[in-house]
Amino acid sequence: MKILHLLASPFWSGPAENVALLARAQREAGHEVSVAVDRRRREVAAEEPAVPRFEGLGLLDEGGLELSVKSPPWVVWRDMRRLKARSVDVVHAHFTHDHLVARWARPRGAVLIRSVHAPRSLRPSLPYADGYTVPASSVITRLLGRRVRVLPPLVDPSFRPAEDRDALRKELGLTGAPLVGMVSTFQASRRHTLGVEAFARLRRTHGGARLVLVGDGERVESVRQQVRTLGLEEAVTFAGYQQGEAFVRWLRALDEAWVLGLGNDWSARAAAQARACGVRVVAVGEGNLPALADVLVEEPTPEAVVAASESGARALVEHPSNARIAADVLALYEQARAER
């Protein structure tokens, strides 16, 4: 099949990495696959741009689509004309802008698939598609009567356990046990404040514990102030924004990851990445986290987070491979094509 993914974002964040891994797995299965992204917003301060990443993977579409929510109406119209003229079997839209463009400019003979990456996209005005994917099984009931699959997070092969975790921690300048981490953008939905409060409680019984906060965002300084107020400066490491192999190294060093809230991508990719690195996952029951966590936090309180952390529980469920996930999505395409 000839597959075109539409991703109206200039950022290598949110669903972008999952889309790239899905496209790469589909290509490895023998299909012709490309990804069109926002080509209008070239300056993306504070976040990694998506274009170089997709270009480096050989997946970047060069079909002339600007595909931006910032495009003026005449450019959106041009995108629609260009898309309609394409020869593809599947258009897989990932954001609302993509879906609207593809809904009214579907190439002749192509099926339209829509991936819903967060529940807020499931509005009554959701345009028609031949099939849908959702980030968690709990969302399927909101698309009753339609072709739908769960699209779990795909994980890059670089995410694997450290060969020598002690040596890695020494290289990163990390000491203490347990070594707990939070790896996400500093925004309210990720509950860093809750994480710091829970860590302060954990230190009462585990005096050598250390908290590693990987990421950046608008709430970094307020969390720094909270750490100072609680007298935890010597026990908390702000690692900043990390990417590529550097991010993998920080994740591999942890004993456990606390995922206390989700942002734009409810597939909970960070939890899957942590599990792949042999890191225990303590998480709240949002999105796809119940399928990935070693132990769920019963309620978002410091006491419940500490209780979950100290439970020692480990999940034995194996996460599906990228090839298996891609095969399931390809089966959705085939079903949609056969039943049109």
**Tens of pLDDT, residues 261-270:** 998 788 899 9
pLDDT(166) > 80: yes
Assess contact for 66 and 37: CB atoms under 8 A.
Answer: no
Tell me the HSE value of 138 on the side-chain side, using a 13 A CA sphere.
12
**Tokens 């670089």 sit on residue:** 158
Domain residue limits at 47: 2-152+321-339
pLDDT at position 145 is 80
**What six digits make up the tokens of 201?**
């409680």
Residue 72 domain-assigned? yes
pLDDT at position 118 is 84
Mean pLDDT of the chain: 93
Residue 49 domain-assigned? yes
Assess contact for 98 and 67: CB atoms under 8 A.
Answer: yes
**What six digits make up the tokens of 25?**
């797995």
Q: How would residue 258 be classed by pLDDT, with cut points 50, 70 and 90? A: very high
Residue count of the chain, please give it: 340
One domain, residues 84 and 185: no
**What six digits make up the tokens of 262?**
């989700």
Q: How would residue 316 be classed by pLDDT, with cut points 50, 70 and 90? A: confident
pLDDT at position 45 is 67
The CATH number for 296's domain is 3.40.50.2000
In this prediction, residues 1-18 reach a mean pLDDT of: 93
Residue 74 domain-assigned? yes
What is the percent of the chain where pLDDT is above 90? Answer: 82
Q: Which residues are registered as beta bridge partners of 148? A: 132
One domain, residues 197 and 132: no
Q: How would residue 335 be classed by pLDDT, with cut points 50, 70 and 90? A: very high
One domain, residues 295 and 179: yes
pLDDT at position 46 is 62
One domain, residues 135 and 179: no
pLDDT(206) > 80: yes
One domain, residues 179 and 301: yes
Those residues whose C-beta lies under 8 Å from the C-beta of residue 239, and which sit 6 or more positions away, are 212, 213, 214, 215, 250
Q: Closest by alpha carbon to 178, among 154, 201, 202?
A: 202
In this prediction, residues 161-179 reach a mean pLDDT of: 95
One domain, residues 192 and 127: no
One domain, residues 223 and 116: no
Name the domain count of the chain.
Answer: 2
* Residue type at position 2: K
Residue 78 domain-assigned? yes
- Kindly write down the DSSP assignment for every residue of 152-204, as one continuous string: PPP--TT----S-HHHHHHHHT---SSEEEEES--SGGG-HHHHHHHHHHHHH
In this prediction, residues 38-48 reach a mean pLDDT of: 80
Assess contact for 336 and 29: CB atoms under 8 A.
Answer: no
More confident residue, 320 or 318: 320
Q: For the sheet containing 2-7, what is the strand order?
A: 32-37, 2-7, 90-93, 111-115, 131-134, 148-150
Assess contact for 266 and 118: CB atoms under 8 A.
Answer: yes
Task: Give the pTM.
Answer: 0.88
One domain, residues 114 and 15: yes
One domain, residues 262 and 325: no
In this prediction, residues 291-317 reach a mean pLDDT of: 93
Residue 316 domain-assigned? no
